[in-house]
Amino acid sequence: MGQQQPQCVITDQCPGIKKACPNVFNHSVHKYCMWHIMQKMPEKVGRAICNDTEFMTDINAVVWDVDLEPHEFEQNRKMLLKPMRSESSNSYFKRFESHFGTLVEFWMRYNSAIEQQRHTQRRMDNANEHSMLEKVGPMKVEMHASLVYTHPIFGDFHNEVKHAICGMGSGGLTKSRAVEYHDVRDGEAQSFRVEFNTKTN
């Protein structure tokens, strides 16, 4: 990078990297990768609520909106947390709990709820193993996604990639030794000059 520090370093939430970044890149801003954060959603908030398409649509609308100002993001985040807290406990356990039951009854109902979650997860895993994956494109990110996503989720991802590529237009290509310069248009919005080194990829 021309002996210059990057303005921003984006990594996963590795404690070692978090500690090393300020020492190595003392003029750079260290940010966490949004993709990795979203991958941890099911273990943080539970699979039941992550299977709620309305909730996921709402949270994606907040998380991936690059036009939100920090204070707007915080407002939306707080509003989402309120329904999430009530929904995650209420919606799932409502049909299993009784306000007048004993502790033993509660424990039995709780175990039933957990077992049903496990059964649903096993059923989804089984359906994923025995379904056909749609055609994987040549890009490395798609190949990686096909290994880590379930088939339905990969289908959604694949469609997003197709839309992103279709929305981009190429204005031309020039070459200089091992470097290619691509003029890329993002729909009608902006134009970018992308530099690609064919030796180092």
Residue 124: what pLDDT? 78
pLDDT digits (tens, 9 = 90+) for 38-70: 888 887 777 777 787 887 888 888 888 888 888
Query: Cβ of 59: how many Cβ atoms within 10 Å?
Result: 20
Q: Give the pair of three-digit tokens for residue 139.
A: 């890009």
**Based on the number of CB atoms within 10 Å of its own CB, is 49 exposed (0-12), middle (13-18) or buried (19 or more)?**
buried
Q: Does the pTM exceed 0.85?
A: no
Q: Residue ranges per domain, the chain?
A: 135-166, 168-201
pLDDT at 88: 55
- Structure confidence at residue 199 (pLDDT): 86
Give me the pLDDT at residue 29, please: 93
Q: What is the pLDDT of residue 154?
A: 83
Sign, CA torsion 185/186/187/189: negative
Query: Which parts of the chain sit beneath pLDDT 50?
Result: none
Other CB atoms within 10 Å distance of the CB of residue 154: 19
Q: Which residues are bridge partners to 182 per DSSP?
A: 173, 194
Hey, how many other C-beta atoms are within 10 angstroms of the C-beta on 73? 13
What pLDDT, on the 0 to 100 scale, is given for residue 94? Answer: 57
Can you give 104-166 as a three-state secondary structure string?
A: HHHHHHHHHHHHHHHHHHHHHHHHHHCCCCCCCCCCHHHHHHHHHCCHHHHHHHHHHHHHHHH
Please give the pLDDT value at position 30.
Answer: 93
Residues near 189 by beta carbon (within 8 Å), at least 6 away in sequence: none
